[in-house]
Amino acid sequence: MDYQFKEIEQKWQKHWAENQTFKADSKSDKPKYYVLDMFPYPSGAGLHVGHPLGYIASDVFSRYKRLKGFNVLHPMGYDSFGLPAEQYAIQTGQHPAVTTKANIDTYRRQLDQIGFSFDWSKEVRTSDAEYYKWTQWIFMRLFNSWYNLETDKAEDISTLIEKFNASGSAGIRAVCDEDTQSFLPSDWANFTSEEKQAELLKYRLTYLKESTVNWCPALGTVLANDEVIGGFSERGGYPVEQKKMMQWSMRITAYADRLLRGLDTIDWPEPIKEMQRNWIGKSVGASVKFKIERPKTEDGSLMIENHHSEDKTSDIGHQALDYIEVFTTRVDTIFGVSYLVLAPEHEWVAELTTDEQRPAIENYIAQTKKKSELDRMADTKTVSGAFTGSYVINPANNERLPLWIADYVLAGYGTGAVMGVPSGDQRDFAFATHFNLPIIQVSDAQKNLDQQADPTKEGKYINSGFINGLNYKEAVAKLNNWLEEEGIGKAKVNYRMRDAIFGRQRYWGEPIPVYFKDGLPYLIQEEELPLVLPEIDKYLPTETGEPPLGRAENWKYHGKYEYELSTMPGWAGSSWYWYRYMDAQNHKEFVSKEAVNYWKDVDLYIGGSEHATGHLLYSRFWNKFLKDLGLVQEEEPFKKLINQGMIQGRSNFVYRLVDEEGKATNTFVSAGLRNEYKTITLHVDVNIVENDVLNVDKFKAWRDEYANAEFILENGKYICGVEVEKMSKSKYNVVNPDVLIAQYGADTFRMYEMFLGPLEQSKPWNTNGIEGVFKFLRKFWRLFHNDAWEFSVVDAEPSKAELKALHKIIKKVQDDVERFSFNTSVSSFMIAVNELTDLKCKNRSILQDLVIVLSPYAPHICEELWSLLGNAAGTLSYAAYPVFNAAYLVEDEFAYPISINGKMKMNLNLALTLDEQQVREAVLSNTQIQGYLEDKEPKKIIFVKGKIVNIVV
RNA sequence: GCUCAGAUGGUGGAACUGGUAGACACGCAGGACUUAAAAUCCUGUGCCCUCAACAGGCGUGCGGGUUCGAUUCCCGCUCUGAGUACCA
């Protein structure tokens, strides 16, 4: 029978499903291997050809690892909470659970027909209560934990309470809010229960706090920093503004350093690690307090006196009005400070502005506000700022320094205040030059200070008081000691990363298992989990502006306490899902100890690089937290990460002729001739174009208006224009895998996706070569059949040539798969099949081994041939990968390329046993080579055994 | 601006540690089979010169360098893509 892919593929997909062929047991003598794909968000559009690329690669790898004797866990599931389903619900009134389920069904059908070896018994859906119960449970663990810097890990909140009981707040080294109180054990004992709760909240790893958030009015929710790109929402591209709100946050900053250090221990692509490093943004430096010289009124009395004495924030307020604290990475240049700058949004600007300067300052703030976030970031050239009228004192030399505001200082980083050192920092230099502030040289190695700043750390310090003559290292050490002793600062590490906002004012997400009593948050009881998402009438905020959950009727804890109305963000469910896969059916724990002890971590994780600073960072954070609590084994969740490239769309165009008046006609010009006419360019559905040739009949049928279209052809064909763009519906360049699978089968589709090029490289989708892959599989099938398409193999001793072809491919595939070079394997399979076809190989043992080697790529056809070869049905997946024997590849002769002065001239067959002297003689006595040499005396002969002979004349 | 990745025939790409550049496939051209077409099979196919063969010249973004020998290593530049953006 000819190669009938449809029957074969259906048959084996059914067999694998019915026999649970890929079910992975958590108990096995085999070594474990965990291959994970980034699970998809099931969108309404279904899968396009770009989605399965990574899944195919990971499936090839999983199947290969099984053949190599590993117990492989290769699961799949759905990240099924999220905005699109909710937006759709708002538009149509359909419950997101309903549309999500329908989308999942489509995804499942599409995934199934590609023949993946997923263990579906371990499927997870983040929107299932059985799943999000454990997401809520982990939230509760975070709420009940604090970060102890003493032990450098998270601990149960009870250990903090013990410390408070024993010694009060003294000696506590924790990652916490800035406004924690100092108290004695006796104070703690006298605190009311509410006061205790309020204080503990400042230490919890997930906490409620008034903070400036990214508010997206169009989406009606706050967004995390990684969900905002250049001032616009990542999803939908809506404007985002800053707003103060009471918000749940995750104290990811507690893990900043561990997240940074961990990067050195994992095998991830360097760009991703670099992005995480930048995101964490560690800077080592010092904080320094500059005393404020109060602006004085004309009669000499202090203008600002004991401000805000009745203000709630009086503690901060008082300190603030004594000092301005700056963070600097160059404390060694402190003697070069000639001014101080605050961010325009800095909360004390108004109070530190003198009456005289008030108009200028207010004008400047108004100007800055007008500039959008984007303008402000884009325009880094223009120098701007305004003088407050106040002065501060440089603690190093008691110099009086003017206090400015400028928008090059960001409120959100460090303390929102900067010391200006024009000689050492280019921005400060530009500022000082523009406003005529002094530029003070601080090192004898600084050059060209009339032109630009010189940030050198070389040389000895000058003009720098007590650090004069010291080098960089000595100066920093001395200054840091001095700051500490004087109590005006200290060595400090600053991170760019902020705590992660954890609440979303949306419906379709995990409810936060918290209720409020007297304005304070409390966890619900663990036995009450899951806190199920309540039904609501419509998926919009309430009239009073509360999140959609505010619509739920009678939704109160124990009938009387308000629940938290925000839901968790999209990344909650995906920050631990790889553990749930290990033990997906467990009703008692999020994962059993046995399962974690066996599977430990993910050995190979394949997914897109767009999750670099979102999912991949949050997952590492939760993983470290779970490790601190002893719930999991490994410090890092994903040992090796591969980013598959993006599949871009390849759009096709037709050129519609335009008449004299500029009106569109019904005539279309082939791409090569379009310059001779006046035309307009239109997208055409790529599914009616083959190899850039338009199927004109299908084009006429595509739309009514084209029914009578006429064509100006070249060589009898209509050639379409081509451009690479994002794959999207509106560009008519979306290719659905279903179509290709129906036409060529899953095995061809899998191999073609791999054949396209290196996995990590982005590339446009192009079906031009798929015929070649299909022809290859047919040729492979024919190896096992005679001319009448009858199955026919022979039992005989394989020939040397057959063994050589086989062992070449055994080695090649093994090498390629281990280094994730899947495209090169496909070419090599073609070579192997071409060679065996030429050899007219019908040898059973050779072909059987070839079936095993090819099976990770084309599992259906191989499973069919495996059973035709007489093996038990469906056992191929656990066959043993053939053992490579180098002896079969040994050659006794090699066609040496002979080059003269590095230019290849000819090949010469020589025995590989010959040594350098013998080769030299053979080469020089060859008449053809003598002809090339033209009697010139060879100066030198380079000989590399088995590689090359190079004659230098 | 900074960081990273990349640039090889008409196309996708191969060449793994410096050793025959262009494997494999697509496309194209020619041929076989066919009444014809499709499918299939065979042959050719980097560019230039040449009727053609032989021979030759040029060729891995550009310009240099190291080397017997460079797509591979080093220096400088151009372009493309991605990330990031006044982070003190």
Instruction: Tell me the pLDDT tens digit for each residue of A510-556.
Output: 999 999 999 899 999 999 989 999 999 888 888 777 889 999 988 99
* Residue A530, preceding peptide bond in cis (omega within 30° of 0): yes
Amino acid present at A814: Q
What per-residue confidence (pLDDT) applies to A798? 92
**Whole-number Å distance, CA A686 to C1' B25?**
21
End-to-end distance of chain A based on CA atoms, in angstroms?
62
Q: What is the pLDDT of residue A376?
A: 57
Determine the angle formed by the axes of helices A737-744 and A746-755, rounding to 10 degrees: 120
Taking the C1' atom of every nucleotide in all shown strands and the CA of A417, the nearest one is B88
At A848-907, the pLDDT tens digits run 999 999 999 999 999 999 999 999 999 999 999 999 999 998 888 888 888 887 778 888
Using an 8 Å Cβ cutoff, are A325 and A287 in contact? yes
The type of residue at A409 is V
Q: Which residue is nearest to nucleotide B12 (CA to C1')?
A: A756
Whether A380 shows a pLDDT value over 80: the answer reads no
* B48 C1' to A653 CA distance, Å: 34
The confidence band for A337, taking pLDDT boundaries of 50, 70 and 90, is very high
Residue with tokens 């709760």: A197
Q: What angle (nearest 5°) sits at the alpha carbon of residue A81, between those of residues A79 and A82?
A: 105
User: Which of left, alpha, beta for A61 (phi over 0: left; psi -120 to 50: alpha)?
Assistant: alpha
User: For B56, which residue's CA is nearest its C1'?
Assistant: A905
Is there a contact between A816 and A857 (Cβ–Cβ < 8 Å)? Answer: no
CA→C1' distance for A824 and B14 (Å): 7
Scanning every strand, the nucleotide with its C1' closest to A907's CA turns out to be B20
Residue A801 clears pLDDT 80, i.e. is over it: yes
- CA–CA separation, A398 and A27 (whole Å): 71
Which nt has its C1' nearest the CA of A771?
B26
CATH number 3.20.20.100 given to A891-952: no
Query: Nearest nucleotide to A950 by CA–C1' distance?
Result: B68
pLDDT tens digits along A623-642: 999 999 999 999 999 999 99
Is 70 exceeded by the pLDDT of residue A78?
yes
Q: How confident is the model at residue A296 (pLDDT cuts 50, 70, 90)?
A: low
Task: Output the pLDDT for position A36.
Answer: 96
Taking residue A97's Cβ as centre, other Cβ atoms within 10 Å add up to: 16
Neighbouring-strand partners of residue A722 = A652
pLDDT for the residue numbered A765: 85
Percent of chain A with pLDDT over 70: 95
Q: Using CA atoms, how far apart are residues A560 and A937, in angstroms rounded to an integer?
A: 103
d(CA A763, CA A782): 32
Q: What is the pLDDT of residue A555?
A: 92
State whether residue A271 is helix, strand or coil. Answer: helix
CA A283 to C1' B88, in angstroms, rounded, equals 10
Q: In this predicted model, what pLDDT tens digit does every residue of A388-415 receive, in sequence order?
A: 988 999 999 999 999 999 988 888 788 8
Distance A337 CA to B88 C1' (A): 12
Mean pLDDT along residues A344-361: 88
User: Which nucleotide in the DNA or RNA is closest to residue A424, CA to C1'?
Assistant: B88
Query: Between these two residues, A692 and A516, which has the higher pLDDT value?
Result: A516
Q: Answer yes or no: is pLDDT of A301 > 50.
A: no
Q: Is A832 helix (H, G, I), strand (E, B) or coil?
A: helix
Asked whether residue A273 is marked as a ligand-binding residue, the answer is no
Instruction: Supply the pLDDT for residue A294.
Output: 65
Extract long-range pairs of A357-365: CB within 8 Å, 24+ residues apart: A357/A386, A357/A387, A357/A388, A357/A389, A360/A386, A360/A387, A361/A386, A361/A387, A361/A388, A361/A405, A364/A405, A365/A405
| C-alpha span between A147 and A159 (Å, rounded) | 10
A770: nt with nearest C1' to CA: B26
Residue with CA nearest to B67's C1' atom: A902
- B4 closest protein residue (CA to C1'): A271
Nearest nucleotide to A494 (CA to C1') is B87
Measured distance CA(A274)–CA(A276) in Å, rounded: 5
Dist CA A552 CA A561 (whole Å): 14
Gap between the Cα atoms of A396 and A882, Å rounded:
74
Position A320 confidence tier, pLDDT thresholds 50, 70, 90 = very low
| % residues pLDDT > 90 (chain A) | 51
pLDDT score recorded for residue A702? 86
Report the distance from CA of residue A415 to the C1' of nucleotide B88 in Å, as an integer.
10
Instruction: Name the residue ranges covered by the structural domains of chain A.
Output: 145-188, 282-495, 647-735, 739-888, 891-952
Comparing CA positions, the residue from A380, A376, A374 lying closest to residue A426 is A380
CA distance readout (Å), A776 to A691, A749, A816, A827: 19, 12, 19, 10
- A428 nearest nt, CA–C1': B88
Per-residue model confidence as pLDDT tens digits over A650-686: 777 888 888 888 888 888 887 777 777 888 888 888 8
Record the tokens describing residue A831, joined without a space.
Answer: 């070579």
**Token pair of A542, please?**
């309430």
DSSP strand pairing (A602-607 vs A561-563)? unpaired
Mean pLDDT of A734-747: 90
Show the DSSP H helices in A390-492 as ranges. Answer: 426-435, 472-486
Pick the residue with more confidence: A247 or A597? A597
Q: How far apart are alpha carbons A76 and A116 in whole angstroms?
A: 10
Give distance CA A739 / C1' B28 (Å). Answer: 27
Q: How far apart are CA A843 and CA A793, in angstroms?
A: 6
Residue nearest to nucleotide B26 (CA to C1'): A769
pLDDT bin (cut points 50, 70, 90) of residue A377 is low
Q: What is the mean pLDDT of chain A?
A: 87
Residue A630 CA to nucleotide B86 C1', Å? 43
A701 pLDDT exceeds 80? yes
The confidence score (pLDDT) of residue A322 equals 83
pLDDT, residue A680, reads 83
**Predicted pLDDT of residue A147:** 96
Say what the ipTM of the complex is.
0.93
Higher pLDDT, A116 or A762: A116
pLDDT at A316 over 50: no
Mean pLDDT computed over A738-753: 93
Which of chain B's bases lie under 7 Å from a protein CB? 3-5, 11-16, 19-21, 23-29, 40-41, 56-57, 68-70, 81-88
pLDDT of residue A313: 34
Contact A846, A802 (CB under 8 A): yes
Kindly report, residue by residue over A467-495, the tens digit of the pLDDT. Answer: 999 999 899 999 999 999 988 988 888 88
pLDDT exceeds 50 at position A309: no
CATH superfamily for A282-495 is: Valyl/Leucyl/Isoleucyl-tRNA synthetase, editing domain (3.90.740.10)
Instruction: Quickly count: other Cβ atoms within 10 Å of residue A629's Cβ.
Output: 17
State, as a whole number of angstroms, the distance between the CA of A825 and the C1' of B44: 27
> How many angstroms separate the CA of A952 from the C1' of B69?
10
The Cβ-side half-sphere exposure at A546, using a 13 Å CA radius, reads 11
Domain A739-888 is of which CATH architecture? Orthogonal Bundle (1.10)
